[in-house]
Structures are given as C-alpha cells and as structure tokens.
Chain A
C-alpha cells in the first residue's frame, strides 16, 4: 500500500513540471499585454519598454520561465503586475475563501447527491427513482450562474433575506462563525452544490443499480442476509467509483468557480482568476493556474490512494 502511494506520488513530479510549462507558455502565447493593466493607455513606447524591463518581460521566454520556476519552487510566485501585491499571499487568501465555499457546497452536494442517488438506485423504476433522477438531471442541466442570479432575485432582492454579493466581511477582516458571516455563504454555496449533487446522484444511482443486478447480491440474499447487510456490501462495491467521482468534483469545487464567484463577487480563486484574466496579470494567472492545477493533481492522487485502500484490486492492477 505504501509503495503504491509512493509510486503515485512520484508520478506527480513530471505532471507538475508539464503543468508549469503549459500554464507558463499558454499565457505568453495568448494575445494581450500585462502592462496594459498598469500603464495609462497613452503611455509612451519608452515608458512601456522601461516597465517591460522592470518586470523582466523583455527577457527570452526560456529565461523568464526558468526564473519563475526557480522562484516558484521556493514558494515565491512573484508580484502581481496589476496590484503589486505578492501572488502567493493573494492566492492563499483567496483559497481560504474558496475552500470555505467549496466545503459548504460539498457538504450540501455530496449529502443530497448520495441520498438521491442511493434511493433512485434502490427503487429503480419507481416514482422515487423518477423524482430523484429528475432532480439530479435538473442539477446537471441548469446553468449554475443562471440559478445563482435567480436565487439572488428571490432571496436578496425580493425577500431581502440574504446578501446578493460579497465575501461576508465587514471590513474588520474577521470571519466569525455566526449568521452575519454565514448568510453571505448560503446562496453561492447552494448554487455551487447543484452540479456535484446531480452528478453524484446519477453516478450512485447507476452504480447501486448495477451492483444490485450482480450475481453475488442474489447469492447474499439466497444465503439469508438481511437487506441492511446486503446494502452494506452494495455500498462497499459502489464506493470506489463513487469516491473517484466525488474526488474529481471536490477538485473542481476547490478550484473555485469563476462564474459563481463572479456572480456573487465571492473573493475566492475564481474571482481572482477572472480579474487576472481581464487585466492580463501574467504572474497572477500563472500562479493561480499552477496552484489550482497542482491541487487537482494531488487530489487525484489522494483519490487513487483512497480507492486502492478500499479496493485492493486497483493496487494489483
């Protein structure tokens, strides 16, 4: 088990290296000038050249990449061109907000999704299945940014129960675990939870139905096991795939959602990334994409390791 985990972790290195090259180069190939964000539109060519030199953008791309990589290995992702603030600090601050949002959305999405999927799979073909499947279908089909806007209209504008935008801070910088903070979280978290809820419900439904149709379930029933005991076996057999799907969904959620965070002005990585895209803030874009991509890679490795712990056949393969 440990050897397997170690081997999987080793695979991260070349992947991370590849990710760093791709995210660095792609952004340099993309049109636009990062200095446009900080220079007045009619800045002279001389001033532009000076600023280009100041930010090292006049050096050969390979040198820029190597210097960036070297600094990144030391945890320094440089300074944001648009704001002048350290990229690492900005990303970490935003990640905390995205993690909080993703955590709550995960809790809602996974719980509801598992429950709906399990019920639908268990009572396949019944009205329960049809109802649960419809909800799941709605979850994956409704554009979540649209849902977010509708929720804002109902709960913020119409009923005035919940705030429409913002990260829940009043300027004091604190995040007290009370209603004054949590009320900012409700609408974005609900909005964010619908897609994973739908995907997980659909996945678990088909897994449960598939496992239930297998011979060993009939054998267990023939052996005289109670339905509750049979269900335990069903869950265990369905778990590896379900965990894999959940892991991927968690990765997506933790990466922050550009659309949801923009609709709600939630100060997470998605909002940060969106701002960085519109200002062509290369260091911020490169840093954020690198961190999020690495996070995704690590999340996949963890899922693999957990899967192998649950299902030893994966290790053997």
Chain B
C-alpha cells in the first residue's frame, strides 16, 4: 500500500504531453522489449510461477502443452485446440480413461524428441515425489492444475493414456496448463533444475539461449524449427524486463527503454494515448466480485438482499471512474462469453427496485443492514480496489446497507479467501472482494460453489451448497461432447446470475500500452497471448 500510494505521483500526467519520437529513437529493429508487472523473471524450467503472467511470458513461449488455446483472434473467445496432442478421446466404456495422440516430429530445443516417454517423465516431475526429476517448485505450480489426474502411462511412443480419479470432462482444460520440459536437457544439465533454469529446453516457439539475469531481464529468441510453421516468431528477439512499479513502467515506455508495458495505471492511459502510444484492451475471462458468505447468520443468505445489492451498484459510474478500463458486469462471466447463456436476472442500475427488495426483506431507513467485507488496497487482478469498493459502499448505503471494510494486504486476503468465511482470520466478514481467473470450467464456475469444495477442501469461501447446482456441476464433468458441455456451463452460469450468488461488479480489460512500432499483435480474449506474429516497424 505504501509503495502504491507514495509512488502514485503525477508522473503519468506530466510525461503525457511529451513527444513520442524520442521514445522511439532507442528501439532496436526486430526486438520487442516488454515491461512486465512481475518483480522477477518467472520460473524458466517448465511449469512457471508468477500466475497468468508467468505462463504468458515464460510458459507458452518456451513450452507447449498437450492442449493449447487458440490465441489467433481478438474478436472470438479463445477455445481449446490441439497442441502437442493432435487428438484426444475418452474411453466410451470407462470414462476415466483418456487417450492422447501425440504430434509427430516435435523436437525439444536441445534436439531431443518429444514422445510419450517425455510426457510421462514430465507428469512424474510434478506428481511423483520419489522420481529423480521431481521438482517441488514446478510441482507446487502444476499439481493443483491437474487435480483429476490419477495415473498415466505410455501406450506407444506417440500415445499416452491418462486416467482420472472419476469421470471428468474438464481434463483438457486442466492439461492446457501443463508444460513439457526436455528430459534429455535435464540429464545434460547434470540432473539439476537450477542448471536447467539458465539453459531450459522446451518445444515452444521461443528459446532462452542466453540464460537470464534475475530481476533484470531475459531474452528469448525464435525457435526456427518450431513444429507449427505458422507460429515461428517473426521478431529477432523478445526481451522481458520485470518492472513491478507502475510508474516505472510508464517512464520506461516513454523514455524508449521498452516498447510495450503490461497494465499501465488507468490514470496514465489518457496521457499515453495523447502522446501516440497505443492502448490495447480486450475482454478476457476475469471478474471482480464480492464473494458472499452463505454461513448461517450472513445477511447474504437472503436472495432479495443479494439481488438488491446487484441492482444498487452503478457500474457505468465505476467505468468512468476507471477511465473506461473495465467492462460492467452483466453476469459472473463477461458479456459475450460462450458460457454466458441467457440469465433472466439483469444486472441493471436500479436503486428504486433495490430499495423495494430491501424493504421486502425487512430493511429500511430505520432498520439498516450492517455488514463487513474484506478488501485489499491493491493486488494482482484487483484493478483499483479502494475507489471501486468505496463507490460500492456509497451505492449500498443508498439502499440501507452499511458496509464496514476490513482492509488487509493482498497476500493476507488470499489466505483469508483460502481459509473460508468461518475462519477467525475472516474476522466475521460476510464477503470478500476477490478477482477471479475464470478461464476454465473448474476455476471459472466449479471451485467457488461446489459443496465438497468448501474449506479446507477447496475455495468455496462462502460455504455455498445447493443440490441443484451440484447436479449441474456433475453434469459438466460427465458431458464429454464439447458443444453439449458448453450448454451445461451456460445453465450453471444462468443459475449463478439468477440466484445472484455473487455481487458481480466488473471485468478487467487487460490493458497494455505499446509503441506504434509494434505491429501484428492480436490481443486474444485470453490470459495468454501469442507473440509469434509480432514485428517491429
């Protein structure tokens, strides 16, 4: 908080009126330099750390997964596509058994072959603690991404069988996280993951040939032999620079030290645009909510109160507050998402209807509802939580709800969220302001509401439990036809909205600021992006 507040000086506004030509002078031909929000170079050995940003810059650049994301379109939502596996199918008789057919002719950067043995070796790296290649750091990142995987085996050099603990049609989404490091390279580096970190080898479109300097920079170069010829990078190199401080990122962009920055502060955006920099945004599976407690005694157990709160928030006003860098929530998923469906409850700004609902629920000017919400002053994906929450606080006050904030730093809020609403660390709060990665069925819809995933088994923070919802979630897991599965996911989402399970407020638009010299970038509706088509003018 200290860091954020003291450094949010009017740098952005001051630098805004300065000419762009100076910033362009230092750019190197064919080299794209990106200022990341991460404070360090993400883990390079395979399964990356630093969340979505790590996977974006050091995961899906150096490595591939069996199942990939289609990142080629800015207008269509991303869907799963074949990557290292060309096809997969579930056994009709035993729906826990999946067969993955691997792509022919794929080689790791060190020249060794990608085959079924390498797949099993990599699963052991994450899941089998007594295997020589087991890596606790990669395991910590990867294991929780594949909770369904029970076992796996080589069928033949190009076929792998994966068995799940129970039928789970969301397995391909889970596997889209898992990246494959070269076993031969690990051997060549003395079986040391520390050594591999400086000389990693994956199958991805980029290589890390010259190591990296911790907290300073990493330079990726194209893998000219990449198996997908259409995705061989056009740039000469891609330089990644950790710049966690937002104003430092803006200054680095303006002074020409980098060509692209992640997440410019909203107050810097108008000045950057005025100076000729491009601000690229798009919808992506992210949401900013209040996760409501459904523990006995919580005021949010009353659907009228939940609906009233959802009708009381002035989302358009909030959008103006954020310089238009948000999408007002119409549901738990952004509007237009394939799983959105057709909920009947519309999240309009209607204070009068909200007041009526509150009156029906027994509240009014003389009987106000007092509630407590855990919020953070900053945090990954949290956008600008203080002004956003204060606006909600004002809006709710208009409909007889008085909100008291329990402010904790982001790291602590994560722990409160993990521990659940009943835990003493929540200090009796009835809600927690949390932003979600909602790119796959589990993280998007299942983990928040499934009865069995209440703490400590999972992150159903509010202890919500509904048989009808659980039945729908089971159906998601057992519907193996992708189109049919989408229909079930739509039903789940409709129930989310119609039952007003969350206070649904906003979706981030993943802003990036870049020099107009950056050409060919298509911002997919995804947490991950493809850097292969980019060129520098």
Contact = CB atoms under 8 A, between A and B. Distances in A.
Given A32-B412, A152-B251, A265-B243, A173 B213 contact: yes
Contacts of B51: 40-41
Given A42-B144, A47-B144, A166-B257, 6 more contacts: A143-B6, A157-B251, A163-B255, A171-B219, A262-B245, A272-B215
A82 B248 contact: no
B33 to A, nearest CB: 11
A109 interface: no
Contact of A40 (B26, B145, B244): B145
A42 B459 contact: yes
Contacts of A156: 251, 254-255
A248 B455 CA distance: 50
Contact of B411 (A32, A47, A158): A32
Interface residues of A, number: 54
A166 B255 contact: no
A271 B6 CA distance: 16
B409 interface: yes
A308 interface: no
A169 interface: yes
Interface stretch (B10-18, B109-117, B469-477, B521-529): B10-18
Interface size class of B (residues with CB under 8 A): 35 or more
Given A145-B7, A164-B254, A267-B216, A43 B457 contact: no
B414 interface: yes
Contacts of B118: none
B415 interface: yes
Interface in A20-43: 31-33, 36-43
5 contacts: A38-B137, A38-B141, A152-B11, A152-B251, A264-B248
B165 to A, nearest CB: 13
A274 B255 contact: no
A157 B26 CA distance: 12
Interface of B: 3, 6-7, 9, 11, 14-15, 18, 22-23, 25-26, 39-40, 43, 49, 51, 136-137, 140-141, 143-145, 147, 193-194, 210, 213-217, 219, 239, 241-245, 247-248, 251-252, 254-257, 408-409, 411-412, 414-415, 417-418, 443, 447, 455-459
Contacts of A280: 411
Contact of B252 (A32, A33, A145, A164): A164
B252 A45 contact: no
B457 A45 contact: yes
The 8 closest A-B pairs by CB, nearest first: A45-B456, A164-B251, A156-B255, A160-B22, A164-B255, A275-B39, A32-B411, A157-B254
B141 A160 contact: no
A84 interface: yes
A259 interface: yes
Interface centre among B216, B414, B415, B457 (most CB of A within 10 A): B216
B447 A165 contact: no
B215 A271 contact: yes
Contact of B136 (A54, A93, A167, A262): A54
A153 interface: yes
A153 B10 CA distance: 10
A149 interface: yes
A48 B139 CA distance: 12
A85 interface: yes
B37 to A, nearest CB: 12
Contact of A160 (B239, B241, B255, B411): B255
B31 to A, nearest CB: 11
A146 interface: yes
A298 interface: no
A38 B143 CA distance: 12
A40 B3 CA distance: 24
B248 A164 contact: yes
A195 interface: no
Contact of B214 (A45, A47, A83, A157): A83
A275 B144 contact: no
A165 B216 CA distance: 10
Interface centre among A38, A143, A152, A259 (most CB of B within 10 A): A152
Contacts of A32: 409, 411-412, 415
Contacts of B14: 153
A95 to B, nearest CB: 14
A167 B3 CA distance: 20
A288 interface: no
B141 A267 contact: no
Contacts of A47: 140, 143-144
Contact of A165 (B9, B136, B248, B417): B248
Contact of A36 (B26, B143, B217, B414): B414
B411 A36 contact: yes
